Amino acid sequence: MSTQDAQSTPSKQGAPSEPSKQSTAITNIGLLVTNEAERPELENAALVIENGKVAWLGDSSKAPVADERIDAEGRCVIPGFVDSHSHLVFAGDRSDEFEARMTGQKYEAGGIRRTVRLTREASDAELEANTAKLVAEMRAQGTTTVEIKSGYGLTVADEERALRIAGKFTAETTYLGAHVVPTEFADDPAGYVDLVTGEMLEACAPHAKWIDVFCDRGAFDEDQARAILNAGKAKGLGLRMHGAQLGPSGAVRLAVELGAASVDHCTFLTDADVDALAASDTVATQLPGVEFSTRQPYPDARRLIEAGARVAIACDCNPGSSFTSSMPFCMAVAVRDMRMSPAEALWSATAGGAAALRRTDIGGLAVGQRADLVILDAPSYVHLAYRPGVPLIHRVLAAD
């Protein structure tokens, strides 16, 4: 267990791995968020960590003696953020596109091809260094688990390379050969789907936990998405989908039908989509940075929550449509513009993200869960939305 500020000592790969003490007690926690059903929040609390897991939590005055003690001095402690959607393995910069959009142009999925060209040209070392920088940036902002997708290679070798690099930083690796149809297959999209479901899948599956497809206008249609996800499922990969970002479609219901862990974006939902999500185990992941950065209308997260769907928040960190790595920023936008309460936004950024990755060991601080946590420089998590843009991460402790 880390005993130093993780944000000031990120390792090269963004994972501060320091020798673990036998036990650590964090005492004088003004407000502790556990995400447990029975007691989701405790005041004046303490938490004891043993072997990287939460071993005890309760009233601070009753905290058992531990080998090491951290005085939280009344601060709020929350579970580490689980960012279940990112595209970190890439090269280049598209700030010019952002600037153009902010002067009135619309986002088109085709900009991805520009990053594909730059990523193919980059060396392994460049890609790994860029990924490490972004992972460290995330960790400094409280993210303790991140999912990383391929999708800027779009050749067998380049997709496999992206997943090998992603795997150095996380176990949550996602094969996204079906990000867009690359330029060289512009006249033969069916041929590209054959590659994605054939040779490319063979090469990538050993390095991936998940398969994803961008099912939207300008990317892959529903029949293609179905074929791609079924091929991944046959290889033992879990299913995820980018759907309903650019307009309404059958993508969300397809994701539910196939049993995807998560369908991400969910910006344009029909009533049937909302009902399908609410009746399923598929998490609806909202990506507020995308609407912020593309000036699209925000989805109404409140509608999903009230229908009974499980909602996650993720950054979708990528150089085109959302180049933020900050979960606190995304939470603030979700509260301000997507009608989530601060408590809902925090749940979605922690337990919601864990559900989107089908993980029960992270996303909360119940006894037995991983001791991945953030000590906020604030008395309450409400400050994450109340004080947008302000660095409120006092300290990050992670079991890795």
Count of residues interacting with Zn ion (CB under 5 A): 1
Q: Is 377 exposed, middle or buried (0-12, 13-18, 19+ CB in 10 A)?
A: middle
Pick the piece of the chain touching Zn ion (CB under 5 A) from 19-27, 50-58, 119-127, 315-323. Answer: 315-323
CA dihedral 332, 334, 340, 342 (to 10 degrees): -20
In the complex, the smallest distance separating the C-beta of residue 274 from Zn ion, rounded to whole angstroms, is 21
- For residues 83 and 316, which CB has a smaller minimum distance to Zn ion in the complex? 316
Tally Cβ neighbours within 10 Å of residue 71.
12
In the complex, the smallest distance separating the C-beta of residue 316 from Zn ion, rounded to whole angstroms, is 4
- For residues 160 and 316, which CB has a smaller minimum distance to Zn ion in the complex? 316
- For residues 242 and 394, which CB has a smaller minimum distance to Zn ion in the complex? 242
Nearest residue (beta carbon) to Zn ion: 316
- For residues 128 and 316, which CB has a smaller minimum distance to Zn ion in the complex? 316
Residue 128, amino acid: E
Residue keyed to tokens 């579970």:
79
Pick the piece of the chain touching Zn ion (CB under 5 A) from 58-66, 74-82, 266-274, 314-322. Answer: 314-322
- For residues 2 and 150, which CB has a smaller minimum distance to Zn ion in the complex? 150
In the complex, the smallest distance separating the C-beta of residue 119 from Zn ion, rounded to whole angstroms, is 15
In the complex, the smallest distance separating the C-beta of residue 195 from Zn ion, rounded to whole angstroms, is 21
- For residues 300 and 316, which CB has a smaller minimum distance to Zn ion in the complex? 316
Of the candidates 392, 391, 363, which has an alpha carbon nearest to the alpha carbon of residue 380?
A: 392
Tally Cβ neighbours within 10 Å of residue 389.
9
- Of 316, 362, 383, 395, the one binding Zn ion (CB under 5 A) is 316
Q: Does 83 bind Zn ion (CB under 5 A)?
A: no
Q: 56-65: list long-range contacts, CB under 8 Å, 24+ apart.
A: 56/367, 57/32, 57/365, 57/366, 57/367, 60/27, 60/28, 60/29, 63/25, 63/27, 64/25, 65/25
In the complex, the smallest distance separating the C-beta of residue 265 from Zn ion, rounded to whole angstroms, is 8
- Asked if 392 contacts 298 with a C-beta cutoff of 8 angstroms, the reply is no
> What does the binding site for Zn ion look like in residue numbers (CB under 5 A)?
316
